Structure 1
Amino acid sequence: MWSTMSGYLLALALVGTEGVTAERFTPLALGWLDAVKGFLPRMGEETATGAYETEVSSLDLKADGLALLFEASRAQGIGTAVPRPIRDLFDRAVAQGHGTQGISSVSR
């Protein structure tokens, strides 16, 4: 819950640097939250079974995207305190050889 709210606030700060208001951005964030609800059952199953294989979106891909968010946050002057721990978690999992697996593999 705290990560979700922190991510939303980070997103508001980031899009705010380009003049996008909370009123304009929030419907997009709500749409994304609806999509995330659909991912949770599978992520729970993967975590329970330890089967993290994916053909859709590997942790390597997500780590690259998070690195872009990290750099954009830094470049826009809003800081990196919010994405830093998640980036560190992803980087550790990739370094441990889980880069081709799904995001649930960070639960190991």
Structure 2
Amino acid sequence: MAGPACLSTFHWPANLSMRRTAIAEVLILSCLLSDVGGVICRSCNLSIPFHGCLLNLGTCRTKPGQFCIKESFAKGGIQWFSIKGCTEDRSECFKRVVKHYEIRSSHCCHRPLCNF
């Protein structure tokens, strides 16, 4: 009977540390994905198609009333560049300006890294 008790005592600390690690990972992930502290958005001052972000600012976190935004600039039917980040307020969202073969448009979303 001493054999099985010894084995269960031997494995117990390893399982406990794995449980603590798993709980910590779940708490960290839930904090990152929750809306309590806002949403994490991609932040880039210049993104070019087929090259990606050239002026990478990393990420930004929205505050209440803010959203992730992606603004695009197209000319002659070709997208030239885009800008990604956090809005100041809702008025920046879903705008479309068309002038002389140029189109500037913005799209907003409210999920983590949705403006990728």
Q: Which has the higher strand share?
A: 2
TM normalised by structure 1 equals 0.24
Higher Rg: 2
TM normalised by structure 2 equals 0.23
Q: Relative contact order: is structure 1 or structure 2 higher (C-alpha 8 Å, sep ≥ 6)?
A: 1
